[in-house]
Structure 1
């Protein structure tokens, strides 16, 4: 092995390049990397064959976030042989600059404009999705949210459940509409079951104490005397 060959092997141990192509259907998924100027006969440029790229985890716990064309990477070549290389992704570049310069944020930015950001100085988690995006959470057991206050802002909210229980007081500031009847009782401390300030308009009848408000009768007690209670 001459000096030039040794030099070439040493140079190829660790190289910086950019992703040319990605094949996500191969097993394992692979990419091709361009290093330097491959057309310069006097240079050290090269274009690799299909090589695997590193993921944070690839065992029982697996993570999927493949590289994209143009992304800057580091090429590790055991024994200086690019045919055995593996690709480490994640170098920022002019084409793909870092999405933040804050030392306090853990941020992930997506090509559609979505951002997941945690600011550990402000103790603030932000998930921002583009227009038309949706969120789906599937938890067959239960979903529990514990917080001091919660605010939901939406044009419409649907609770599709066989039973909905509210354990505390409820204030409805808009119109309250129901379609399948309503029933209730007074609280444990007694008092009226309902107090309504204002006029109550009923289109049919009102039953109070088993007596019809619209169709009850009274027993006459004599001229000028009060009638009996409703019969």
Structure 2
């Protein structure tokens, strides 16, 4: 059984991951848009959603959050506490306040509803989630990895040697740090943390190809 499904969703083709916890339940990471495609895949796989996790709250990663939570009433929304401000009843207003200039502002106005559901679970980093999963033994540890944004997180499953890295780390780059809440200093610290994992770690990033940590060589100079 394939445990990890990936769709490219939304206007910027975010990698949306559907992780099968067991035969009937899954979690979704970063539903960036394209809800009809997400729903079609979940229906085909006969899966219900237990949780929706956001690696961060930039507009391109949250476009289908409202639809997901509306369709799956038992699905809980997880986000780092530092970015809860960008989710909830004033989501679009708060996003536009901090990211509303130029093309990004136009995208936010085009793709985001005025409000989104409030988060159910605020994360600090260090939590272990879904330990009872039959497919991901031991569950996922939440890593707070600021740099691209103030509340960026990664998810690491030791048993599967799998890192869901969001926009912190790509196949041969790291996320940009020039948005509000970004920090080059914090990015360096976060990357050092990630490079402590085994070189064979599978890096499933927020955009682009899945890779192995050992092959992401361009980031070494940044450390």
Query: One fold, TM greater than 0.5?
Result: no
State the structure with more CA Rg. 1
| Bigger RCO (CA 8 Å, 6+ sep) | 2
TM-score w.r.t. the length of structure 2 is 0.21
More helix by share: 2
With structure 1 as the length reference, what TM-score do the two structures score? Answer: 0.21
